[in-house]
Each structure stands twice: as structure tokens, then as C-alpha cells.
Structure 1
Amino acid sequence: MRNIQLIIEYDGTNYCGWQIQKNGVTIQEEICRAIKQVTKQEANLIGSGRTDAGVHALAQSANFKTLSTIPTNKIPVALNSLLPKDIRITNAIEKSMEFHSRYSALGKIYQYRIINNEYGSALDWHRCLHVRHKLNVEKMKRGAELFIGTHDFTAFSRENTSVVNKVRTIFQSQIEVKGDELVFRIHGNGFLYNMVRVIVGTLIEVGQGRIEAESIPSIIASKDREKAGITAPAYGLYLSEVLY
């Protein structure tokens, strides 16, 4: 038996998220189908976590166990020949039998792309959020830094969630400017459902002058979802890296 880790890039536009479900096609489902064709075995593909419908990945991590003897370096080629063009296996690594894509992870890095101009992007309309009115980027940068540290992020997660412990540690939170594009990057030991998207929505409202950057610590302390900003759309969000 072998334990194979896959590094996966995908455009989530046409999928109902990562996890297999009854009401639509998912990334996990497509990869499991390809693995079965290559190995002639059913695959229990374990992802590092779920991504929602429309969310993309630059380097999702998943693993499966197999009796197949196909060389590890041939696995990406074999799977990519069977997968849709918007799902690519960029690497395969043979790991110890104890490796688990979710439970072995030490942290994740996400990024969120915003186009801030009048006309948007014809090529990236489904891969970044268009904000027409000029944002105050300096205020957004100051606000982003205030998320760094260990906090209870109840105010920045979906209400009525079953997760009890909402304390997470953020190691990096910053905004980079590339012409008309703002790229928000955040590195944490874990994230709550919708947490990154609510943080981004809050920073957009900071940039619009609706929320003061300096009020972010008090919003965190309040644990009140009503005090944070909107939930930014899924299509601007990318899982950039899973850290082990």
C-alpha cells in the first residue's frame, strides 16, 4: 500500500466546491473518477479542507492510498490526461502511511484578488472581485495588519456554525498593489468557514470609509458578526498553499 499526496490547481468556476455532493459536480469527484481509471481502484481522496463553490486553488493538497505500482512521477501525467482542463495535478509525492492532508497540515495561505478600476476585467471577471469606486489602500493595509495574532474570530465567521473553538492564529495579513489589482494575502494556522471572505469584505468597507481601520480590534473583541463587513464573493478567493 502507498500513500500519495497530490498538489492540485483548479479554477472553481464550474464546480460546486471541493467536496463530493449530490447536487452538482465537484473537484474531488472529478479527481476520484480519474484515479479510479488510472489505478483500477476506488479512491478515498482526502483534501486539506473544503473550498466553496467558485473558490479556486493554486496548490490544494489531497492524499489517497493505493495498491497501484504506477511510478509517482507518472501520476500527474496520467491523471491530467483524464481531467478537465480547469483541474490540473501539478505534483505527486509518495508520503508515509501516517500522512493526512488535513490533520498533518500546520497552516494555510489564502489570497484574494480585487480589481479596483472603473471597467473591471474581461479576462478575470470570474477570478477576481471588481470594485468600481476608488479604495483607500493605505487604510486597508493598516486594517489588514490588525488581524495578525491569536484571536477569537467569531465576528468573522458564518453565524450558526457547529464549530465550538473559533480561536485562530494569523501570522501574516497584508495587501499588495499591482497596478489596478489589490492582492490580499493571509497566512494562518487555520480558518473558519467564510473567515477570509468576511475579513476581505471588512477591509473593502475600510477602503470605502464605512468602517474605521482602527475599529478592527474592537470588532474582533465583540464576537458580533453584525459589526464586521460583508462576505466577499467566492470567486476572488484562492487557496494558495497548504503548509506541513
Structure 2
Amino acid sequence: MKKIKLHISYDGTDFSGFQRQPGQRTIQAELENALTALMREKIEIHGSGRTDAGVHAQGQICHFVTSSPIPAEKIAYILRNMLPRDIVAVSSEEVPSDFHARKSAHWKTYRYQIDTRCAPDVFSRRYRTHLPYAVDFQAMREAAGYLVGTHDFTSLCSAKTQVEDRVRTIYRCEVIEEEHGYAIEVTGSGFLYNMVRILAGTLVEVGRKHIDPKAISVILAARDRTKAGPTFPPEGLVLMEVGYTPWNNM
């Protein structure tokens, strides 16, 4: 038996999220079905995290165990001809038996992408949320600074979040100006349910001068979801990268 690490990218628009669900099209189901056919044995995959319906990934990491003699580095290449066009197997490699896609991860980077044009761009509408408003980038960056560090993020996660420990560490949070829009990029030790989408919604509220930048500390301390900004739509969110060595502010 050998353990395989698989790097995948996907357009999440037409999926009901990562996790397998009865009667639904999911990333996990598509991967497991293709791998089971390829390896000629039942394959169960484990992802670094479960992205929601409509959320994309550039750097999702999975692992699985197999007894197949197919060389590890060739698995991704073969999978590319078996998977639907909205999932791409980027690379594959054999890893030590103690590797775990989720438990071994030290950090993740997410990016929330926003289009500010008057009319949405038809070619990027699946990957950028259309918000045609002027924002104060300086205020957003000041607010982002208050999010960096170790905090209880109850105020910035869905009320449906089931985990009791809501303390997470944010290593970096940046607001990046781009042509026709901007992006909010955040790296952290882990993220709660809807946390990045609420974080983005809160920073945009700061940019629109609906929330004072210094109020971020008050919002965090309140541990009250109603004090933060809206939950932004899923299409703007991309899982960019998962890191398996400690964060060193690269």
C-alpha cells in the first residue's frame, strides 16, 4: 500500500461543494469515481478542507491510499483524461504514511475576487463577485491589520458553525488593487464555516464607510455574528494554496 498526495484545481460553479452528498454532483464523488476506475479498487479521498457549493480551488490537496502499481507521478496525468473539464489533476506524488491532507496542513490561503465595473464581465462572472462600488482601500487595509493575529472568530463565521473552538490565527490579510477590481487575500492556520466570505463582506463594508476600521477589534471581541458584515456570494472565493510547512511570511 502507498499513500498518494494529489494537487487538484476546480471550477466549483456547477458542484454542490467538495464533500460527497447523495444525489449531488461533488468534487469528492467525481474524484473517487475516477480513481476507483483507474486503480481498479475502491478509493476514498481525504481533502485539506471542504469548499462550499460554488467555491473554486487552485490549490486543493487530497490524499488517498492504494495498492495499484501505477507510478505515483503518472496518476495525475492519467486522471486528466478521465475527469470532467471543470476538475484538473495538477500533480501527484507518493508521500509518507503519516501524511494527512487536512491534519498535516499548517496554513491555507484564500482569495476573494471582486469586479467593480459598472456592468459585470461575462467572461469572469463565474470567478469574481460583481460589486460596482467605490471603496476606500486605505481604510480596508487598516481594518485588515486588526484581523492579523490569533483571535476568536465567532463574529466572522456562520451561526451554523458546529465546532466549539473558534480561535484561529491569521498570518496575513491583504487588499490587492487590480484592473477593474480588487482582491482580498488571507492566509491563516485554518478557517471556520463561511469565515472568508464574511471577512470579505466586513472589509468591503469598511471600504464603503459603513464600518470604521477600528471597529474590527470591537466586532471580534463581541463574538456575535450580527456585528459583522454580510456573507458574500461563493463565486468570488478561491482556495489558492495549502502549506505543509510552518508559515514563515514568505
Q: Which portions of structure 1, spanning 4 or more consecutive aligned residues, are displaced by more than 2 angstroms?
A: none
8 Å CA contact 2:153–2:166 kept in 1: the answer is yes
1:98-152 C-alpha deviation (Å, 9 max, x unpaired): 1110111111111110111211211011111111121222211211121000000
8 Å CA contact 1:152–1:168 kept in 2: the answer is yes
* 5+ residue gaps, structure 1: none
What amino acid is aligned across from residue 189 of structure 2 in structure 1?
Answer: N
Match of 2:78 in 1: 78
Distance 2:227 2:162 in 1: 21
Match of 1:15 in 2: 15
Give the 3 Å change call, closer, same or farther, for CA 44–24 of structure 1 in structure 2.
same
Match of 2:90 in 1: 90
Match of 2:43 in 1: 43
Structure 1 residue 162: Cα displacement? 2.0
Q: Name the TM-score, length of structure 2 as normaliser.
A: 0.96
Task: State the secondary structure of the residue aligned to 1:213.
Answer: coil
Distance 1:120 1:141 in 2: 25
Q: Does 1:130 align with 2:150?
A: no
What amino acid is aligned across from residue 184 of structure 1 in structure 2?
Answer: I
Distance 1:142 1:121 in 2: 29
Task: State the secondary structure of the residue aligned to 2:214.
Answer: helix
8 Å CA contact 2:73–2:94 kept in 1: the answer is no
1:38-58 C-alpha deviation (Å, 9 max, x unpaired): 100111100011000000000
8 Å CA contact 1:116–1:135 kept in 2: the answer is no
- Please identify, of 128-137 and 146-155, the stretch whose mean Cα deviation from structure 2 is larger: 128-137
8 Å CA contact 2:144–2:174 kept in 1: the answer is yes
Distance 2:90 2:5 in 1: 11
Match of 1:152 in 2: 152
RMSD value over aligned CA atoms? 0.9
Match of 1:161 in 2: 161
Match of 1:178 in 2: 178
Distance 1:148 1:192 in 2: 15
Structure 1 residue 160: Cα displacement? 4.0
What amino acid is aligned across from residue 65 of structure 1 in structure 2?
Answer: V
Match of 1:57 in 2: 57
Distance 1:114 1:230 in 2: 15
1:207-236 C-alpha deviation (Å, 9 max, x unpaired): 111111111011001111111000011110
8 Å CA contact 1:58–1:240 kept in 2: the answer is yes
What amino acid is aligned across from residue 26 of structure 2 in structure 1?
Answer: T
Identity %: 40
Distance 1:205 1:23 in 2: 37
Task: State the secondary structure of the residue aligned to 1:186.
Answer: strand
8 Å CA contact 1:117–1:134 kept in 2: the answer is no
Task: State the secondary structure of the residue aligned to 1:126.
Answer: coil
Q: Does 1:113 align with 2:152?
A: no
Distance 1:120 1:97 in 2: 47
8 Å CA contact 1:156–1:198 kept in 2: the answer is yes
8 Å CA contact 2:151–2:220 kept in 1: the answer is yes
8 Å CA contact 2:135–2:208 kept in 1: the answer is yes
What amino acid is aligned across from residue 186 of structure 1 in structure 2?
Answer: V
Distance 1:78 1:212 in 2: 52
Task: State the secondary structure of the residue aligned to 1:173.
Answer: strand
Task: State the secondary structure of the residue aligned to 1:205.
Answer: helix
Match of 2:248 in 1: none
